[in-house]
Amino acid sequence: MTVVKNILAIHTGGTISMSQNEQGEVVPNSENPIAQQETILEGRVHLVTDEMFNLPSPHMTPVEMLKIKQRIVAAETEGIDGVVITHGTDTLEETAYFLDLTLPSTIPVVVTGAMRSSNEVGTDGLYNFRAAIEVAADDSSRDNGVMVVMNDEIHTARYVTKTHTTNVSTFRTPTFGPIGIVAKGRPAYFQQLIRQANTDIDHVIDHVYLLKAYAGMDATLFDALNTDETKGLVIEGLGAGNLPPITLPALQRLLDRGIPIVLVSRCYNGFAEDIYDYQGGGIELRKMGLMLCQGLNGQKARIKLLVALSAGFTGDRLASFMSTAVS
């Protein structure tokens, strides 16, 4: 006897919900065509649809991310067996990681999207949506953290990132690769995520910033953030985690103000380490008080710092939380 799974589909907008107009421009629809799908996996899945937002992904903020998290928490009391979230791809990885950090649930939570709008030739939206439902409805997907399913691959929210502006295979996991694939319509896993503890929050703070280092960078941008409003800063440093020496006095002024600063690498692979012992090298930066965060890119580290500060973490607890991708 087939057990029918109750899957909550939360729709938030993005290319997966858009269409091309007569000029070939991709624009939002008044109604989300993906959200009208009710018969996917008929006989195996009962789809519960919630059109929470209709936002292009650059319009997504942590405020909306928190609302999605709260909706999923509520869903666990409603007999929901898994959740699929459709989302624009530009900020998809940030929403997915926010949920991964804050959700206490063990039910499968899958985020998906599309690189081609609903009426383009070769549109991938409905295909990705169906694959995401298959993953969310499978018992083997439990306790995997939040997952991103695109182009028949299953990635962890923690490490996946968008790598191409338009290609349908844009979502990749540098260094580690996907944890599984969707084969013959079903998930097949071949890696296991080291699970992290969730950090429950009921609000999100503002003014946590992200800067990218570059050759010849000076103090200008850092001094612009030296205000009472600034709550935290993530820097994508050079190489293994280094900065131009001219930036150091400005960084010290931020630290003296009590602003936490997290350092990651701007490199596509690898992570920040305190290897180099020269002015502006990782060893000096760590001694100054910068927190080196391993395994996350800049946008993910910013989400993690924002969550930690929203949870009230300070001092050693904040440093421990930010020092590694697994917390």
Per-residue pLDDT tens over the stretch 242-296: 999 999 999 999 999 999 999 999 999 988 999 999 999 999 999 999 999 988 9
- pLDDT of residue 326 exceeding 60, the answer is no
- For residue 262, what pLDDT is reported? 98
- For residue 106, what pLDDT is reported? 81
More confident residue, 29 or 236: 236
- pLDDT of residue 327 exceeding 60, the answer is no
Mean pLDDT of 319-324: 89
3-state secondary structure of 238: strand
- pLDDT of residue 318 exceeding 60, the answer is yes
- For residue 88, what pLDDT is reported? 96
Do 212 and 298 touch, CB atoms closer than 8 A?
A: yes
pLDDT confidence band for 42 (50 / 70 / 90): confident
* Average pLDDT, rounded, for the chain: 93
Q: What percent of the chain has pLDDT over 70?
A: 98
Query: What is the reported pTM?
Result: 0.96
pLDDT confidence band for 325 (50 / 70 / 90): low
- The residue from 15, 156, 161, 247 that is catalytic is 15
- For residue 39, what pLDDT is reported? 62
Q: If 0-12 CB within 10 Å is exposed, 13-18 middle and 19+ buried, where does residue 40 land?
A: middle
Tens digits of per-residue pLDDT, 153-181? 999 999 999 999 999 999 999 988 999 99
Look up 15 and say whether it is catalytic: yes
Tens digits of per-residue pLDDT, 51-77? 999 999 999 999 999 999 999 999 988
- For residue 193, what pLDDT is reported? 81
Strands (DSSP E) found in the chain: 5-11, 18-20, 26-28, 45-51, 82-86, 109-112, 146-150, 153-156, 161-162, 171-172, 180-183, 186-189, 208-212, 232-237, 261-265, 291-292
